[in-house]
Amino acid sequence: MTEQSVDRHLQRLKTPRAAAVAGVLFALIFGTVLVLIRLALPDGAEHGTQWADGHADMIRWATILMPFAGITFLWFIGVVRDGFGVLEDKFFSSVFLGSGLLFLAMMFAAAAVGKGLAAGKRAGDDAPSAELAAFGQTMVTTLSNTYALRMAAVFMMSLATIWLKTRLMPTWLVVASYVASVSVLIASDVSLWITLVFPIWVLVVSLTILSRRSEGPPPDRS
């Protein structure tokens, strides 16, 4: 069989346009997860109070939603990387992929800790001890705020740099990405509400991608 006949039977995999909706879904689901965690673990609250008045149910729902947020985030990464095409930079793409996967892994770890503590509450009549509650709350907030969201900041910054070098996205979005990344990088420990910047940013990026794809393919850069 000749090379030409083989090529006729091969088709290049193309990213479906509907995949760009994954970013919108991630923004909505992950934003909900952050709000639930913030309401269940308010600033200044005594350790152990997060298991009263339905707060444990908020943590439980956050852990249920987190896997779906992770699935949609992986699709979002794929859609964004597909947009690089032949202009992909190996260095910044490595940082982009690595920070995105680290963000996702640490959010899964934080959700697993919260799930374990919530399961312990359901297994017994009493709330976890103050020491265990303090440990669980510190683990959840440290993994999600201090580490995961800072990886999200690196994710935004590296992606903004790729867009700046390739001009694949409008300048206003590049500037907004840098501002959002710095805000999350510096202020993620100040308040969990600041971390909502990340899902909002993903929502804006996804809507921009969807609007551009609806306008048709970009001009050939070759």
Encode pLDDT of 52-73 as tens digits.
555 677 888 888 899 999 999 9
Q: Nearest-CA neighbor of 107 among 157, 73, 156? A: 73
Q: How far apart are CA 53 and CA 41, in angstroms?
A: 12
Phi and psi dihedrals of 11, rounded to 5?
Answer: -125, 135
Is the pLDDT at 217 greater than 80, yes or no?
no
**What's the average model confidence in pLDDT over 214-219?**
53
**What's the average model confidence in pLDDT over 76-104?**
84
Place of tokens 């899964």: 108
**pLDDT per position as a tens digit, 155-175:** 999 999 989 888 888 999 999
Q: How far apart are CA 68 and CA 25, in angstroms?
A: 9
Backbone Cα Rg of the chain:
20
Query: Is the Cβ–Cβ distance between 188 and 149 less than 8 Å?
Result: yes
Helix (H, G, I), strand (E, B) or coil at 220: coil
